[in-house]
């Protein structure tokens, strides 16, 4: 696609190089940081970052991390994140990060170098068909063939990335385009045929939403990441409090509603709270806001919320009805739709339902056990971290057991406070994402809650944090293994632990010192709180390596293929081994 130029802005009466055009387009989009790794094709563009000061280039140690840093920046700020890499392996190394952004609807623009246009298709040195490779994991992608298309395409790319359901956009830029010259003309607005995201909900459907809420006896609000993308937290709060509706959320919806609110039910799904899953199972109305009914939330779909009518509010019409039948569909921006719904919803009190839900909370609380002289429990480490840090920090996570404990036990109070890889479940996401988030929000303390397995995939980015003085903190729950896979082997493979041991690993204190950062290791619970305090007050990057009980498992837990009502509430090893079949194992 090519942007339709209605009233072009002609900013120069002379031709500019492709590199200059790229830089000026980024300036016009308000880009502050660009994350990347250099290559010969990018030399003239990189030279501009040296000469200019409006945009700061952050040198990553791996291209995948450039994409995750752009994601972290976007997730923390709500703006478009940008990364820049060279051709061939530089571009292909981005694919995991691009896919992660695509799965979680994160707006990033990925700029890749490419061999000269006349060499494309000739298997030239470091040529890769990155457009073809990323076609299914980008919202849109482009190969620039003529320099006159460069500025309009950049304008269009940012527009597509940030509007509608957000997502990644890739622009592949051949060497001769970057070195070529053209007049700098940028469209005042983007007009793409067939791309008109609907933000306003249909009035008739909004009226149906309000009527259905009024009629419901046992409603639940089910909130996903789309509510955060839409900045709909105030509207969500108003609806919940006005109509007296308990609120549950997905992993990506964490932070959309305060954890300590009386109406909060915490996360639902495979490792959600028992009371959340039970309330959803019993509700007569489920109001989904910016959520997509993914398998980790629903469990066995045919057994999910079987007695409930379903309202689904989403800006992406293809998401509605994709996984579950919907009674009242509303296509539109969550903030806009909820604003209109709130005009129609009258104050209600649902005394019986609220009392029942509160009883579920009391009956099925999140718990963990500690023993005097025993190992540190990962849950107590998270709880202590949350208590010491308070409500004002931003947390990122890697992927695994620690991610679930963080989602269960961190106290969250505002949107974009919890940044995690949801749909793709990318190990190694959290640390580079924390670097991006820290640059987006320098006013916040940013902490990566990490597992030792995930962190070892990206620990080289300590160099990036130290080089630019980015004060990210890494809080490692170190169980010396790949915990989530080990958990499934523990429960369903008769404790036959295959390829999950990480007993050979770095000394994280020495590792931090090697990169010029600070670090601390603890294995005694009496040292936990003082160590967290030291981590918080120490300037610059810091690694706190907390040795935790390697045998601790994440509960509640819904077995793969099971209904949410079949969740395991406590460690079955205390009673008898839990048997399973290979066919019941999870996909990852």
Catalytic site includes residue 126: yes
> DSSP assignment of 143-205, as one string?
E--SGGGHHHHHHHHHHHHHSSS---EEEEEEHHHHH-EEEEEEESS---TT-----SPPHHH
Cα–Cα distance, 462 to 564 (Å, whole number): 40
Structural contact between residues 273 and 267, judged by C-beta atoms closer than 8 angstroms: yes
Residue 349, both tokens: 């009190």
The angle at the Cα of 113, spanning 108 to 117, to the nearest 5 degrees, equals 125
Catalytic residue among 32, 56, 126, 133: 126
Strand arrangement, sheet containing 247-249: 264-267, 247-249, 219-223, 285-289, 309-314, 328-331
Active-site position among 404, 484, 535, 557? 484
Query: Distance (Å, rounded) from C-alpha 561 to C-alpha 584?
Result: 6
Length of the chain in terms of residues written: 588
Catalytic residue among 175, 218, 278, 361: 175
Active site residue 215: no
Nearest by Cα to 56 from 462, 436, 459: 436
DSSP one-letter string for 476-487:
EEE-SB-HHHHH
Query: Which residues, in sequence order, are bridge partners of residue 451?
Result: 477
Reply yes or no on whether 484 is catalytic: yes
Question: In terms of DSSP bridges, do strands 81-85 and 181-187 run parallel, antiparallel, or are they unpaired?
Answer: unpaired
Write down the catalytic residue from 125, 362, 372, 537.
125
What does residue 189 show for φ and ψ, rounded to 5 degrees? -145, 160
Q: Where are the beta strands (DSSP E) in 399-460?
A: 418-419, 446-451
Place of tokens 């007993």: 503
Distance CA 532, CA 540 (A): 14
Contacts of 379 (CB under 8 A, 6+ apart): 366, 368, 405, 408, 409, 552
Query: What does R_g of the chain's alpha carbons equal in angstroms?
Result: 25
Which listed residue (29, 63, 235, 380) is catalytic? 63
**What are the residue numbers of the active site?**
63, 125-126, 175, 484
């Amino acid at each position: 696609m090519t942007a339709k130029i209605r009233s072009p802005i002609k900013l120069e009466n002379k031709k500019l190089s492709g590199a200059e055009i790229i830089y000026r387009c980024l300036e016009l989009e308000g880009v502050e940081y660009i994350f990347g790794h250099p290559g010969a094709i990018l030399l003239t563009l990189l030279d501009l970052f040296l000469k200019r000061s409006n945009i700061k280039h952050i040198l990553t140690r791996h291209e995948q991390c450039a994409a995750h840093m752009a994601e972290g920046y976007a997730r923390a700020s709500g703006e478009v994140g940008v990364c820049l890499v060279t051709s061939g392996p530089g571009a292909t190394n981005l694919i995991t990060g691009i896919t992660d952004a695509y799965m979680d609807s994160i707006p990033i623009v990925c700029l890749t170098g490419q061999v000269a246009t006349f060499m494309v298709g000739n298997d030239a040195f470091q040529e890769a068909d990155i457009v073809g490779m990323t076609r299914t994991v980008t919202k849109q992608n482009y190969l620039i063939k003529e320099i006159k298309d460069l500025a309009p395409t950049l304008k269009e790319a940012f527009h597509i990335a940030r509007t509608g359901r957000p997502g990644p956009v890739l622009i592949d830029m051949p060497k001769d385009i970057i070195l070529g010259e053209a007049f700098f003309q940028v469209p005042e607005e983007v007009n793409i045929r067939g791309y008109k995201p609907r933000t306003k909900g249909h009035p008739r459907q909004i009226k149906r939403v309000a009527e259905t809420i009024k009629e419901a006896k046992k409603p639940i609000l089910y909130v996903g990441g789309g509510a955060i993308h839409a900045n709909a937290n105030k509207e969500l709060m108003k609806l919940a409090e006005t109509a007296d509706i308990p609120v549950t959320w997905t992993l990506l919806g964490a932070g959309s509603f305060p954890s300590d609110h009386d109406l909060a039910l915490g996360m639902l799904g495979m490792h959600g709270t028992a009371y959340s899953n039970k309330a959803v199972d019993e509700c007569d109305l489920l109001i989904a806001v910016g959520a997509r009914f993914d398998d980790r939330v629903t469990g066995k779909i045919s057994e999910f919320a079987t007695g409930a009518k379903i309202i689904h509010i989403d800006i992406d019409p293809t998401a509605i009805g994709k996984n579950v039948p919907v009674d009242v569909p509303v296509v539109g921006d969550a903030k806009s739709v909820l604003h209109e719904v709130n005009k129609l919803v009258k104050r209600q009190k649902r005394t019986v339902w609220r009392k029942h839900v509160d009883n579920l909370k009391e009956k099925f609380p999140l718990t963990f056990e500690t023993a005097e002289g025993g190992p540190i429990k990962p849950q107590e480490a998270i709880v202590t971290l949350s208590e010491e840090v308070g409500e004002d920090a931003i947390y990122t996570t890697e992927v695994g057991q620690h991610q679930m404990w963080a989602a269960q036990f961190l106290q969250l109070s505002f949107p974009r406070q919890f940044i995690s890889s949801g749909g793709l479940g990318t190990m190694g996401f959290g640390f580079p994402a924390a670097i991006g988030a820290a640059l987006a929000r320098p006013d916040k303390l940013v902490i990566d809650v990490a597992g030792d397995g995930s962190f070892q995939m990206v620990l080289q980015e300590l160099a990036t944090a130290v080089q630019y003085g980015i004060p990210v903190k890494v809080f490692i729950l170190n169980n010396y293994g790949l915990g989530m896979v080990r958990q499934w082997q523990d429960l369903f493979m008769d404790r036959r632990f295959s390829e999950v041991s990480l007993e050979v690993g770095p000394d994280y204190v020495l590792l931090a010192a090697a990169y010029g950062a600070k670090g601390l290791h603890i294995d005694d619970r009496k040292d936990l709180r003082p160590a967290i305090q030291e981590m918080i007050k120490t300037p610059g990057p810091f690694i706190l390596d907390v040795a935790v009980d390697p045998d601790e498992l994440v509960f509640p837990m819904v077995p793969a293929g099971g209904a949410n009502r079949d969740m395991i509430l406590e460690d079955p090893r205390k009673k008898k081994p839990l048997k399973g079949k290979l066919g019941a194992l999870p996909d990852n």
